[in-house]
Amino acid sequence: MFKPEFKYSSTGMPIISNADIDNLGERMVVDFDSSALFAPHPIDIERFVEKYLKMHIEFMFLSHCGVYLGTTVFQTTDYLPVYIPEEKRAEFAHVDANTIVIDGSLDSENQEHRFRFTLGHEGGHGVLHPSFFLSTIGSSERDDTGIYVRCRSDYKATQNSVTGYRFLTESERAEQQANRFSAAVLMPKSAVKILLAGLPYNKSSKWVSNAIEMISDTFNVSKEAAFYRLKGLKMIEDHIRMPL
């Protein structure tokens, strides 16, 4: 496995740009599957996480309502909150360090795209954020602070009420970086560009729809993920909206 080296802030947050995350994801994908860039195809994300990143995968219900899609456990705990739907009650579960827990609601065929992106996202936390989260242990009354990170399905960046501009707290930045890592692994930058090389951009809505369809089908990702990957790689303008 390629071992990246990061510069860190005083809180343990990696100082890394979106372009750097794209390059990191691509470097890891090539190391894992050397044909991925030149013959674009779906990355085996489960094998990538388990065999390449050396992380365990478990399924548990993380809430009663699906608000948490995944959790990355950095340090062994006996106190991960989970939900037992058959008994309609919550309890604490034992989970070993270096484990990704995926919400049980994603363990079905019709949730494949969401499962794949969530798994890539949690893998991103495992690569990028152990130093940040582990540095927060003991920083609050919660004994489990920093031992794991629970990722919400409704994550959104905050908007500054004075300036109107969006800004990121460090925890939100970790979520954004993990999202970017997942996109970079599932839809490697060079593979996307090779895939679309025969579809010259003409700024039409038809081009955007066709590009989204090609990326979604080729990499086995949702159309929404494909659309935001096009934006993230600046292959379409920021003002363009997701086609209906």
Tokens 């729809």 belong to 209
Q: Is the pLDDT score of 83 beyond 90?
A: yes
Q: Is the pLDDT score of 6 beyond 90?
A: yes
- Cβ neighbors of 208 (< 8 A, separation 6 or more) are 227, 230, 236, 240, 243
Kindly compute the dihedral angle of the four CA atoms of residues 180, 221, 99, 142, in this order, to the nearest 10 degrees: 60
Give 91-114 pLDDT, tens digit per residue.
999 999 999 999 999 999 999 999
* pLDDT confidence band for 35 (50 / 70 / 90): very high
Query: Could you give the CA distance from residue 139 to residue 143 in angstroms, rounded to a whole number?
Result: 9
Cα 222 to chain centroid, rounded: 13
| The pLDDT value given to residue 143 | 53
Give the rounded percent of residues in the chain with a pLDDT score beyond 90.
81
Give 120-178 pLDDT, tens digit per residue.
999 999 999 999 999 877 665 555 668 999 999 876 654 444 434 457 888 899 999 99
Q: How far is CA 30 from CA 24, 42, 195, 208, 223, in A?
A: 10, 13, 16, 27, 24
| The pLDDT value given to residue 163 | 39
Query: Could you give the CA distance from residue 107 to residue 80 in angstroms, rounded to a whole number?
Result: 19
Q: What is the mean pLDDT of the chain?
A: 91
Q: Is the pLDDT score of 225 beyond 90?
A: yes
- Three-class DSSP category at 134: helix
| The pLDDT value given to residue 160 | 42
Give me the amino acid identity at 119: L
**Are the beta carbons of 113 and 120 closer than 8 angstroms?**
no
- In our burial notation (b when 16+ CB lie closer than 10 A, e otherwise), range 39-68 reads ebeebbbeebbbebbebebeebbbbeebeb
**Are the beta carbons of 126 and 100 closer than 8 angstroms?**
yes
Q: Is the pLDDT score of 222 beyond 50?
A: yes
- Cβ neighbors of 128 (< 8 A, separation 6 or more) are 6, 14, 16, 21, 174, 177, 178, 181
pTM: 0.93
